[in-house]
């Protein structure tokens, strides 16, 4: 298909972290803070349990959520800096990322028919993809353009704002122990930040479904039914529903990983088996490319996640999350038609060194 580590101590009391999260949730992109909170708390619970039961040095796990503009490293920073006031809207400059009004779109009509046919076509393209194996010492390089809308609260007043469209670059070694990230929504440094392990506590987390390394992906089952059963089992209790979490997990793998062609084909065929998956005839990625989407509506949040493919070649273009219906409550400010997150994959390839940027025709 052409197409981080929370710095929370594993033994930190859950109630302390939960309190910090509740005070910072309003500053995360609407519709995603509960998702981040739930996954971070699950990570802390898991690490705490490991610390209590392991006879050797506890192994913590890295969580990786590339799609939303506020990823877990940023969430951890927000937790650590909960008392810092939200800055006023700026026009950019320096290393700061410019902000603007909410991102909006026309809501495309959903069609429950044609999902299997479209995903079959997409999987055939993935199976034909020239997909070289990543060797030790090499890195998976993924470059994308992303933007997001979020609720910004200043002096008790909330309004919608957006981060401007910006470049995101990430490098990962095949075993997942070395990496680098450049994303202005995560760090102010134009040089980016390391994703390399072990962490500051000397722990080397193990890859798993929601934070896979390339080596991990090569060992996943390629039978669609077996793969989908594994996804449901390992994401049980996460997200707003089992079906939505399974769809989201597959979407995360499409956005920022490098699954082998056989696995990519299996992922698409597994997605076709998830209840509630539809097609959207017209969807637009972050750089304005129109395509057809495979999508699923989260009934609880009113948000629809869309995977966008070229209408003619069926190559994966990117993803977006669109507010389709109002749900009431504290997030009622997010109106239908609001784009919460949008991305476009512009390059996905293999390089021979960390922070190496390939030419566009490589």
Distance CA 235, CA 65 (A): 14
DSSP E strands: which ranges in the chain? 99-100, 110-111, 139-154, 157-172, 179-182, 193-194, 277-284, 290-298, 303-309, 316-323, 339-351
pTM for this model (two decimals): 0.76
Torsion on CA atoms 315, 358, 259, 191, rounded to nearest 10: -120
3-state secondary structure of 45: helix
Q: Label residue 333 by pLDDT band (50, 70, 90).
A: confident
Rounded to whole angstroms, the Cα distance separating 63 from 36 reads 10
The predicted-structure confidence for 255-303, as pLDDT tens digits, reads as follows 889 999 999 999 999 999 999 999 999 999 999 999 999 999 999 999 9
Q: pLDDT value at position 37?
A: 40
pLDDT digits 0-9 by tens, 297-329:
999 999 999 999 999 999 999 999 999 998 766
Tokens of 289: 């490319």
Per the CB < 8 A criterion, the answer to whether 66 and 252 are in contact is yes
Choose among 254, 230, 223: nearest CA to 144: 254
Question: Which whole-number Å values give the CA distances from 340 to 162, 173, 186, 190, in the listed order?
Answer: 9, 30, 17, 24
């Amino acid at each position: 298909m052409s197409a981080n580590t929370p710095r929370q101590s594993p033994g930190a009391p859950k109630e302390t972290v939960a309190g910090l999260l509740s005070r910072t949730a309003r500053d995360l992109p609407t519709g995603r803070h509960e998702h981040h909170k739930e996954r971070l708390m699950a990570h802390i619970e898991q690490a705490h349990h490991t610390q209590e039961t392991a006879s050797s040095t506890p192994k913590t796990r890295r969580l990786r959520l590339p799609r939303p503009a506020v990823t877990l490293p940023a969430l951890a920073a927000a937790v650590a800096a909960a008392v810092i006031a939200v800055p006023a809207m700026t026009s950019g400059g320096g290393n700061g990322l410019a902000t603007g009004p909410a991102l909006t779109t026309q809501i495309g009509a959903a069609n429950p028919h044609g999902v299997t046919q479209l995903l079959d076509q997409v999987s055939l393209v993935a199976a034909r993809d020239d997909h070289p194996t990543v060797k030790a010492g090499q890195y998976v390089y993924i470059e994308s353009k992303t933007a997001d809308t979020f609720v910004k609260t200043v002096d008790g007043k909330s309004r919608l704002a957006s981060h401007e469209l910006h470049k995101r670059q990430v490098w990962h070694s095949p075993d997942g122990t070395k990496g680098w990230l450049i994303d202005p929504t995560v760090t102010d440094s134009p040089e980016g930040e390391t994703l390399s392990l072990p962490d500051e506590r000397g722990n080397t987390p193990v890859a798993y479904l929601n934070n896979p390394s390339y080596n991990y992906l090569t060992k996943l089952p390629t039978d669609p039914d077996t793969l989908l059963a594994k996804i449901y089992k390992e994401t049980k209790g996460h997200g707003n529903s089992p079906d939505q979490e399974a769809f989201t997990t597959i979407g995360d793998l499409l956005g920022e990983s490098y699954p082998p062609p056989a696995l990519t084909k299996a992922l698409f065929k597994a997605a076709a088996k998830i209840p509630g998956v539809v097609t959207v005839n017209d969807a637009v990625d972050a750089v304005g490319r129109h395509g057809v989407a495979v999508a699923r509506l989260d009934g609880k949040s009113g948000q629809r996640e869309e995977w966008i493919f070229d209408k003619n070649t069926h190559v994966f273009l990117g993803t977006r999350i669109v507010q389709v219906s109002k749900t009431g409550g504290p997030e009622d400010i997010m109106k239908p038609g609001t784009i919460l997150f949008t991305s476009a994959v512009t390059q996905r390839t293999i390089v021979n060194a960390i922070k190496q940027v390939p030419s566009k025709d490589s």
